[in-house]
Structure formats: structure tokens, C-alpha cells
Amino acid sequence: MSTKKEKETKDIQHELTDRAREVWLAGLGALASVEEEGSKLYNTLVKKGEDFESKGKEKVDSVLDSVSDNYKKVEKQFTDVFSKAEDGFDESVAKVVKGLGVPTQDEVTNLTKKVEKLTRKVEELSDKLEKQGSDSGTKKSSSSSAKK
């Protein structure tokens, strides 16, 4: 009987060893599957990320272009409105200044030219008078020397 028991014990040991090995191999198989599937999943996630990034970039670029276009339109409208307001203000100031009798820039420029022209003529006349005076003074002194 002891041999029967020994045989049963050996069979149980052998069966346990076989089961333990199967469990070990199943664990290794699971690990290999996880590694293989994990790599596939990782690569799939990277690809999806790239696709999402390019779509997101396109959307961001589109929004930026739209914002830029709107900014340019608003800037032009602001410039036009400001220019019209500035022109209106200039006209209003010009009317007030004219109503007060203040001369315009053109009037002042013309007046300055006339004054400069008159100044030159006065200086020319003054020079002529001095020259005539000195010429007549020289003649008088030479004729008075001759009389002596």
C-alpha cells in the first residue's frame, strides 16, 4: 500500500507541479499579451493624438485668421470715424477762428511776404538816400574848399 500511496503522492505532486507551471505560463502569457496590446494601444493613442493636434491646430489657425480679419475691419472703421471726427473738429475750429477775426495761416504767410517786400524797398530807399546825402555832402565840402 505504501507504494500505492507513494504513487498517489507522486501523482499529486506531479499534478501540482504541472498546474503551478501552467499558472506560471498563463501569467507570462498575460504579461506578453499586455505588453503586446499595450504597445498597440500606445501606438494607437499616439496616432490619435497626432490627428487631434493637427485638427486642433487647424481650428486655432482658423480662429486666429478670423480674429485678425475682424481686428483689421474694426481698426479701419475706427480710423475712418476718428478721421471724420478730426475733420469735423478742424472745420469747427476754423469757423470759430474766422468768426473771431483771427487770420488764417495763408493770410499770415501772404502778409509776411508783403512785409518782407516792403522792408526790402524801404532799405533800398534808405540806402539811396544815404548815398545821395553822402554824394551831396562831398560836393559841398569840395566846393567850400575851393572857395577858400
pLDDT tens digits for 19-67?
Answer: 999 999 998 888 888 888 888 888 888 899 988 888 888 888 888 889 8
Give the position of cell 476718428.
82
Asked, for residue 39, whether it belongs to a domain, the answer is no
Q: Which domain holds residue 117?
A: 106-137
Asked, for residue 117, whether it belongs to a domain, the answer is yes
pLDDT tens digits for 72-129?
Answer: 998 898 888 888 888 888 888 878 877 888 778 888 899 999 999 999 999 999 999 9
Asked, for residue 130, whether it belongs to a domain, the answer is yes
Asked, for residue 114, whether it belongs to a domain, the answer is yes
Name the CA dihedral angle for 140, 144, 146, 148, rounded to a multiple of 10 degrees: 180
The pTM score is: 0.34
What backbone torsions phi and psi does residue 123 show, to the nearest 5 degrees?
-65, -40
Asked, for residue 127, whether it belongs to a domain, the answer is yes
Asked, for residue 121, whether it belongs to a domain, the answer is yes
Count of domains for the chain: 1
Amino acid at the residue 71: Y
